[in-house]
Amino acid sequence: MELFALDLGNIQTKIKSRKTEKVLPSKYAYYEDLGNQVTALRKGELDINEYEVNYDDTFSYAWGKDISQAKVKSFIDTIGFNDRYSSDEFKKLVKFSIGELAKDFPVSKENILNVNVVTGVPTDEFNENSVKTIMDVIKGDHNVTINSVSYVIRVIEVKVLPQPIGTIYNEMLDDNGYIENEDYENETISVVDCGGGTVLIDTLHDMNLSKTERNQTEQGAHYLYDYIIADSLEYNLSMNRNDVEKILRNQNEKYIYSPNKNEKHDITNIVNKAITRYTSDLLNLVKTTLKDTSDIDTLFFTGGGANIINQSKVLKTFDRAIFINDSETANVNGFYKFGMATIESDSNVE
């Protein structure tokens, strides 16, 4: 029995097994739309693969770390704030993710790979209906073909956690699932999870979720992207969210937009202005949600957006704030550690 952890975010998908950990965009494309790029892809220039799922024999799909760089007409996006887990786009993303992790286990090609899965949902969606929906999507048999190789996976058990618990377990547990920071069990902890689509603010007292000191909004990092796009129009620059995300991920001392190899535009001032505004928006959201922070022992800032905001401004505002290392993958690592601690599995060491 193997253990997989999935953090299927609106913008980025984080997946983990005992053999790998990956961050991939939560969007994909029709493989046929790649056109003549197929030749280049097979030379390894871009990390994109071809996926097929057993219930859809009409199309194959392109997905991978570099899918955002593909020159396609449009992407199939899985971002959603209503009924996301029941959408066909989300179901395919689940299968792609499980298949991607299964590639590392030869038994999935020869027989059936049995796995347990731990995943998480925003606290607002941690209810009977949403949890059942996502469990139904993940549990059971999956037949995924990747680059013409078929993988068969049987998900035996699914554990669904409130998303902020992932970060706390990541900080509390070691890599084998044993407690190494016992203090967190008896603290009041607030978690600000700044993702691509949403900002989640949750508070736990002795590891019990508070029903009041919490908030969930759709003001994720895509708001920051939109600020940058709007301001860039004043300079006749036409960027989209893919462009902005790539620029922010490739941050150096300056932010440079290159629409082609012949043009380079320094947009550092635009980006810094947008980061300042977005950080102020986020701090206001935290302060209005956590009206009295005097009883908070630890305030975690996590999620991919935590790497972008003005951290020094946050630390001046909240002296108990802690920015999580590798915050983009903190939740999926926490899910995996939780699985190590709680799910009995027969290890297939190969």
- What is the pLDDT at residue 79? 78
Q: What is the pLDDT of residues 204-225, one digit of tens each?
A: 999 999 989 999 998 999 999 9
pTM attached to this predicted model: 0.91
Assign 38 a pLDDT band (cuts: 50, 70, 90): low
pLDDT tops 50 at residue 54: yes
Assign 344 a pLDDT band (cuts: 50, 70, 90): very low
- What is the pLDDT at residue 164? 85
Q: How many whole angstroms separate alpha carbon 158 and alpha carbon 268?
A: 44
The torsion angles phi and psi of 299, rounded to 5 degrees, stand at -120, 105
- What is the pLDDT at residue 246? 86
CATH number at residue 155: 3.30.420.40
- What is the pLDDT at residue 345? 39
Asked, for residue 141, whether it belongs to a domain, the answer is yes
Range of the domain at 155: 2-165+332-342
Which residues partner with 52 through β-bridges? 145
pLDDT tops 60 at residue 348: no
Asked, for residue 19, whether it belongs to a domain, the answer is yes
Number of separate domains in the chain: 1
Asked, for residue 295, whether it belongs to a domain, the answer is no
pLDDT tops 50 at residue 172: yes
Asked, for residue 58, whether it belongs to a domain, the answer is yes
The torsion angles phi and psi of 127, rounded to 5 degrees, stand at -135, 170
Which H helix or E strand runs over 152? strand 149-162
Asked, for residue 265, whether it belongs to a domain, the answer is no
Assign 346 a pLDDT band (cuts: 50, 70, 90): very low
In eight-state DSSP terms, residue 208 is: E
Q: Once rounded to an integer, what is the mean pLDDT over residues 109-138?
A: 94
pLDDT tops 50 at residue 269: yes
Asked, for residue 307, whether it belongs to a domain, the answer is no
How many CB atoms neighbour CB 337 within 10 A? 24
Asked, for residue 231, whether it belongs to a domain, the answer is no
Percent of the chain, pLDDT > 70?
A: 94
Assign 82 a pLDDT band (cuts: 50, 70, 90): low
pLDDT mean across residues, the chain:
91
Q: Once rounded to an integer, what is the mean pLDDT over residues 130-152?
A: 96
Lowest mean pLDDT, pick from 102-111, 134-143, 243-252: 243-252
Q: 3-state DSSP helix/strand/coil percent for the chain, to nearest 5?
A: 40, 30, 35
- What is the pLDDT at residue 42? 53
pLDDT tops 90 at residue 44: no
Q: How many whole angstroms separate alpha carbon 284 and alpha carbon 280?
A: 6
Asked, for residue 253, whether it belongs to a domain, the answer is no
The torsion angles phi and psi of 257, rounded to 5 degrees, stand at -105, 125
Spacing of C-alpha 291 from chain mean position? 28
Q: At what angle do helices 268-289 and 221-232 cross, to 10 degrees?
A: 140
